[in-house]
Structure 1
Amino acid sequence: MKKFIVIDGLDGSGKDTQVNMIADVYKKQGRDVTIRSHPCSDNKYGRKSKEALLKEGKVNHIKATIYFGLDAIRSVQMYCHNKNTDVVIFSRYILAVMYLPNVVNSIVYKVVTFVLPTSDCMFFLDVSPEESLRRMAGRGDEKEMFENMEDLTKNRLRSQKFTYNWNVIPGDDSAEIISEKIASKCLESDKLLS
C-alpha cells in the first residue's frame, strides 16, 4: 500500500464528504482508491456496532466500541496490506477508543496505535457540537447514542487527549476549505515520499 489516509471526527463533522473529496483527488491522478467507512455494513462486526450505536446504555456503548474496533481491524487486514490497492482511505478509525471509559481509553489508544497502521495523513475534523447537530438534523438518519449536545461536547473534549499526533482541522469551515487543507497535506506528503 502506498498511501493510507484517515478522516475522523465527531458525528456531523463531514467525514464522509471529505473522504469522497480526497478520493476524487487521487482518482483524477489515475490511482486505485479503496474507501472504508466504519462501521461497515458488509460484515458482522460493523453491523453489530451500528446496531449497538442505535441503542442506549453502557453495555451498548461498550459493545459498539468493541465491534467497531473489530470492524476496523478487519478492514486493515483486508485492504491496507493489499498490494493491488494504491490508496486506502478510512472514515473513522482508531479514535473510537475515546468512547471507552477514561484511563482504559488511553491505554487502549497506545496499544492500538502501536499495532495498527498510522500515517502523516490522519485528520481529525474538529467540529463544534452546535454545528454537528445542525448538520445531523438535515440528514434524516436514525439518531445514534452519542448524537446529542451533552455527549458531543464531552467527546469533543475527550478527543483532545488523543489527537496530539493527528492533523486537526477546524470542522466548522466549509467543505471546500477543509478539503483544500486535507489535499494540500496529502499531496505534500506524496512529494516527500517520492
Structure 2
Amino acid sequence: MYKGKLITFEGIDGSGKTTQINLLKKYLLEIGRDIVVLREPGGTAIGEKIREILLDKKNNIVPSAEALLYAASRAELVKEVIIPSLNDGKIVILDRFVDSSIVYQGYARGLGVEVVEEINSIAIDGLVPDLTVYLDIKPKDTLMRIDRRKDKDRLEIEDAEFHEKVYEGYMKLIKSKPGRYFIVDATHDIYYIQKVIIDEVSKII
C-alpha cells in the first residue's frame, strides 16, 4: 500500500528503546536510507503540547481522558507525518504506537482492550506496522534504570505494581497476536541487541 516502511518499537519504561532506535537510525543513515524518527506522544506541534500534558507529573489524569489524549496525538502524527512519509518511500521509525495504549490504558489502567482499540481505530486510519520490535525485559530489571533518571515523567514515577501490570499487558498482547512481534531479549549487550534488530530490519527494507 505504501512505498515506505513503518517500524515501531515497544517495551516497558527503561527497556532501552531510545538507545536501540538511535543505533538503528545511525545504521540506516550510514547505508543511505531516507528515514524519519518519531516518538509518541509527539511528533507534531499539537502532539508535543499533548505530550507535555500527558507526561507532566503534576497532572492527575483520569484513564479515559489519558487514552483519548494519546489517540488525539496519534491521529495528528499518522495523518500529518507518518502517512505522507510512507507515501514518499521513507522508513519511519516510531517510538511507541497503538500497542502502548492498549497495554498502558487498556490493561494497566483497566479501561479494557476493546475500548482502547475502538478509540484508536479512527486515529490510526488502518495503519499497521511492517515490523514491531518488542524489547523484552522484566520490570525488576528496569526500575533501577528509571530510578537513576533525574527528571522522571508521570508514567515513570508510577509504582512497581503499575509497571508489573504494563509488563503483563505486553505478554498478553503478544500472546493474543502470535507472529506480529519481533521479540528481543533486552537483557543482552546493547550491541548484540543492535545486530539482532538490524538483521531483522534488513529483511523488510
Question: Which bracket does the TM-score occupy, shorter chain normalised?
Answer: 0.7 to 0.9
Q: Give the aligned partner of residue 188 of structure 2.
A: 173
Which of 104, 114, 121 aligns to 2:112? It is 104
Amino acid in structure 1 at the alignment position of 2:203: E
Whole-Å separation in 2 of the counterparts to 1:69 and 1:55: 21
Aligned pair count reads: 189
User: Is 1:43 aligned with 2:45?
Assistant: yes
Pair 1:41–1:121, CA change in 2 (3 A): closer
Give 2:96's aligned residue.
92
Query: Would the aligned equivalents of 1:48 and 1:64 in 2 still touch at CA under 8 Å?
Result: no
1:129 has 2:134 as partner:
no
2:128 maps to what in 1? 118
- Aligned counterpart in structure 1 of residue 201 of structure 2, from 164, 186, 190: 186
Q: Distance in 1 between matches of 2:31 and 2:126?
A: 27
Structure 1, gaps ≥5 residues long:
none
Amino acid at match of 1:149: A
Question: 2:167 corresponds to which residue?
Answer: 156
Larger mean CA deviation between 76-85 and 169-178 belongs to: 76-85
Length-normalised TM-score, structure 2 = 0.79
Tell whether the 8 Å contact from 2:35 to 2:92 is kept in structure 1 after alignment.
yes
Q: Secondary structure at the match of 1:118?
A: coil
Cα distance in 2 between the residues matched to 1:185 and 1:156: 23
Structure 1 letter corresponding to 2:68: I
Give the distance between the partners of 2:19 and 2:4, measured in 1 at CA: 22
Residues 43-82 of structure 1: per-residue CA shift (max 9 Å, x gap)? 33443344234256561x3333321222222222122222
Q: Contact 1:127–1:171 (CA<8 Å) still a contact in 2?
A: yes
CA displacement, residues 84-128 of structure 1 (integer Å, 9 cap, x when unaligned): 351111001111222234573245437749843223411111221
- Structure 2: tracts of 5 or more residues without a match: none
Q: How much has 1:23 moved relative to structure 2?
A: 1.2
Which amino acid in structure 1 is aligned with residue 92 of structure 2? V
Matches of 1:128 and 1:91, distance apart in 2: 19
- State how far apart, in whole Å, the 2-side matches of 1:34 and 1:45 are: 16
Shift of 1:186: 0.7
The range that moved more, 79-88 or 107-116, is 107-116
For structure 1, which segment, 114-123 or 146-155, has the greater mean C-alpha deviation from structure 2 after superposition?
Answer: 114-123
Partner amino acid, structure 2, of 1:92: R
Residue 73 (structure 1) aligns with: 75
Aligned residue type for 2:105: L
Work out the percentage of aligned pairs sharing the same amino acid: 20
Q: TM-score, normalised by structure 1?
A: 0.83
Once the two structures are TM-superposed, the CA of residue 41 in structure 1 deviates from its matched residue by: 6.6
Report SS of the residue matched to 2:202.
helix
Distance 1:86 1:8 in 2: 20
